[in-house]
Chain A
Amino acid sequence: MKSLHRRKLISASAILAVAALTVATVPANAFSPKYEVGVNGSEIKLGITLPMTGAASPGYNKVPGAMKAYFDYVNANGGVNGRKITLVVKDDAYVPTQAVSKTNELILKDRVFALVAPLGTANNKAVAASVNPGRRGVPVLFVNTGFSGFADQKKYPTTYALLPSYVMEAKIMAEYIKDNFAGKNIGLVYQDDDFGTDALAGFKQAGVKFATTVGYASGSQGAATAAGWVTKLKAANCDVVILFGVSSATAAGLGTAAALKYAPQWILGSVGGDATTIKASGVPAGVLYNAVGASFLPATTDTTDEYVSLFSSIYAKAVPGSAFDNNVLVGMNSAFVTVQALKAAGGNLTRKSLLAAIDAKGSTFASAALLPLNYSATSHVGYNGYWFGKYSPTGDLKPDGGKYTLYTTDSGTGAVVKSTYKRPAMPAKGLPN
């Protein structure tokens, strides 16, 4: 019996010793002090976390492919100040714990220079609290969420918002309703979480009165639940219905309403308004016809737009067979803005010089959007407005009257105003100078 004990002790200590050695021999990541982390003479390493698998992934999992397509295009044309961009993609399955550990891997193991377009509100919040890129000085460029809080420089000093916030979207939508559907019965379907409550706050501030509201639990959207929404909206005699949810909820709502011969004037929020994703989930294009939608980028089918035509040809070559939709356009546009920020930071690229460059020159960056960026030393707000349009018989969003009319506002109490901004011409070959 005693020998067993000793053996146990010995084996336990042996295991411990081996464990200690293994962990201790992990090589310290050698990097030349000449360059900033994630940068060397020939490469800039960037990282992204987003759901590539799981229920939240459809649509969004095309974003990294789109970004890589544009980065590769830039790399093939000489790169950024002679350096090629590589993008390290990590799947967080839309779980905050995963987002934190994957971001840690990106920063501490892959040693990326900056994070670009990480997706999700709760995920970005957890990353900010735990990994704390702000304290580490790691730039978090162009987070892919419309939560207004990320523009708060005190809380997130190295984070830059890109998308207009949900509050802005709701306020602008309210203005559009006032102009076009005054006196009608309005219904709202929203996701019962921060995404929806942000929107509710915006609508409330704009003074929109709803005949009824349906707040569905995230993840419950489907044919059966949507039948319930439609029944409620019908019972309240809604003439105009806003679907302010994710793509799957928009698709479920539209499809089910069509089956129940309910055809109000639809208004689709930008998050769930991507026509390709809606059609891919089984909604006939005809159902989308005449629905109102919003975007800050040009319509994805607008081939007369120089950005759309260039981006779609780059994407078609890089990812053959994949449809060029709004998720792809958003991804490529984020990559485009990223390249400009890197260029603006100059040949002696450091994290500090990148942040300084965005603060100093960010508002002059070219981008595919029909709005300017609002970066400055005191603002990390990206785009701040939308244009409205209607879906064509083939289900493509086209601006009202063939002309983009843009409205801008802020996430606070500011008014909604018509924008007079004229987008400058695209840099030659879509390569920022």
Chain B
Amino acid sequence: MRKINNKISNKTRIVIFLLLGFVIFLISNRVDELRVYQGASVAVYVVGIASIILLTGYSGQVSLGQGALLGVGGYAAALARNHWHASVPLTFAIAILAAAAAGALLGMAAARLSGPYLAGTTLALAVGLPSLANQFSILGGEQGLFFDVGAPPQSLGADFTQYKWFFWIAALATLIVIFWLQNVMRSRYGRTWKAIRGSDVAAELAGINIARSKVLAFTLSAGVAGLAGALLAMTIGTVSPSAFPLALSFSLLTGAVLSGVTTLGGVILGAVTLVAIPEIVASVVDRLGASEGVATNLPSLLVGALLILTVIVLPNGPVEQFRSKQRAKVKKSH
């Protein structure tokens, strides 16, 4: 039953993704440059959040240091581009591989840890790793390195802006990653992770090599994070330690919770929220004419409150909530 269902949805999903790509393409031609830039930021967040969902929602491990892995990807991309003059697709591939390698190392340590120990290790990583850039001159110190994917091809016309080009690259990468991740989640590995998340002991009894599965989850998640890092570096044109602060790790985690960590379906929700909140707050504050102190502190207050509320009210995320209601309805109607 389930298998048949998967097959059907597989085809449907390809259609949905193509459709989605087409809609995104149409949108990018209609909106102004700021929205295009924000769209690129949303795409970066989508990939970053997806990397957390893969790790936390599917394999039950927590990482507070995802920002550091984004950093690994970003720096790898910049180095590859600046020193080896690698082509753009190749730089992204290198970013993914470098971050995945770092993730594999981390995963080996993490496989022995759980809960607070893992949280602590990844937290320390998020704090410590970016400052490494100051230790090696090749990483460019606090100023960091430039990362330039180049101007859009001439054939796209003179009106085609740089940000639209960034957006196209980011959107394409995002669609591919999400499609691929959905397949991974439905594969044997995805089911294995879910089993581990449910219960270590039961999974072990069922003959699953827990350590290996966890390392694999960490590696794949880090690879995705590395791509997010390269995309982030592309949108801001540089990499530097301060581009990957602890706050980045926290906001990705926030986005993952707002999206619902157990499903990829809501990933866009979290990403849009992260990008939209500061802007919404700013316009509200503008209208109400609140003081500067309120204006600058309101976004973090709101994000924090939203985070707590989501965890308490919708622990599995809005999409999952909606789905389970739907399921209940369908069951009733049968």
Contacts and interface: CB of A to CB of B under 8 A. Distances in A.
B134 A193 contact: yes
Interface in B165-182: none
Interface stretch (B22-30, B104-112, B189-197): B22-30
Interface string B22-65: 01001100111111011001000000000000000000000000
Interface string B195-218: 000000000000000000000000
B238 interface: yes
Contact of A104 (B20, B37, B143, B292): B37
Contact of B141 (A13, A101, A130, A194): A194
Interface in A109-133: 109, 121-123, 125-126, 128-130, 132
A95 B247 contact: yes
Interface stretch (B8-16, B80-88, B113-121): B8-16
A195 B240 CA distance: 14
Contacts, number: 122
Nearest to B326: A4
Interface stretch (A18-26, A41-49, A347-355): A18-26
Contacts of B292: 52, 89
Most buried by A among B142, B236, B248: B236
B20 A16 contact: yes
A106 to B, nearest CB: 10
A48 to B, nearest CB: 13
A279 B34 CA distance: 42
A53 B296 contact: yes
A99 B19 CA distance: 34
Contact of A23 (B31, B146, B300, B330): B31
Interface in A47-80: 52-53
Nearest to A13: B19
Contacts of A197: 141
A217 B16 contact: no
A128 B162 CA distance: 13
A192 B34 CA distance: 35
B243 interface: yes
A5 interface: yes
Interface residues of B, number: 48
Contacts of B26: 20
Contacts of B142: 121-122, 193-195, 218
Given A23-B31, A100-B235, A129-B146, A4 B141 contact: no
A28 B30 CA distance: 10
Contacts of A12: 16
Contact of A1 (B5, B16, B41): B5
Interface string A173-208: 000000000000000000011110100000000000
A95 B237 contact: no
A130 B238 contact: yes
Given A12-B16, A26-B32, A29-B32, A125 B144 contact: yes
A329 to B, nearest CB: 20
Given A4-B330, A122-B144, A194-B142, A96 B16 contact: no
A60 B148 CA distance: 31
B8 A130 contact: no
A92 B260 CA distance: 28
A26 B242 contact: no
A280 interface: no
Nearest to B166: A130
Given A108-B34, A130-B237, A95 B296 contact: no
A342 B248 CA distance: 38
A24 B30 contact: yes
B264 interface: no
A305 interface: no
Contacts of A52: 292, 296
B35 A126 contact: no
B37 A9 contact: no
Given A1-B330, A132-B162, A100 B236 contact: yes
A244 interface: no
A5 B134 contact: no
Interface in A205-237: 217-218
Given A16-B23, A53-B297, A195-B142, A23 B35 contact: yes
Nearest to B9: A5
Interface in B220-259: 232, 235-238, 240, 242-243, 245, 247-248
A95 B247 CA distance: 10
Contacts of A7: 326
Choose among A20, A97, A147, A197 the residue with the greatest number of B CB atoms under 10 Å from its CB.
Answer: A97
A15 to B, nearest CB: 9
A238 B148 CA distance: 45
A24 B31 contact: yes
Contacts of B143: 121-122, 125, 147, 193-194
A3 B292 CA distance: 52
A94 interface: yes
A126 B243 contact: yes
Nearest to B237: A129
Contacts of B273: none
Nearest to B245: A95
A4 B328 CA distance: 11
The 6 closest A-B pairs by CB, nearest first: A129-B237, A193-B142, A108-B34, A130-B237, A24-B30, A122-B240
12 contacts: A5-B9, A13-B19, A23-B35, A26-B31, A29-B32, A93-B247, A122-B142, A122-B144, A122-B238, A129-B147, A193-B141, A217-B134
Interface of A: 1, 3-5, 7, 9, 12-13, 16, 19-20, 23-24, 26, 28-29, 52-53, 89, 91, 93-97, 100-101, 104-105, 108-109, 121-123, 125-126, 128-130, 132, 147, 192-195, 197, 217-218
Given A3-B330, A53-B300, A104-B37, 13 more contacts: A4-B326, A12-B16, A16-B23, A89-B292, A96-B240, A97-B232, A108-B33, A121-B142, A122-B142, A129-B236, A129-B238, A193-B143, A194-B142
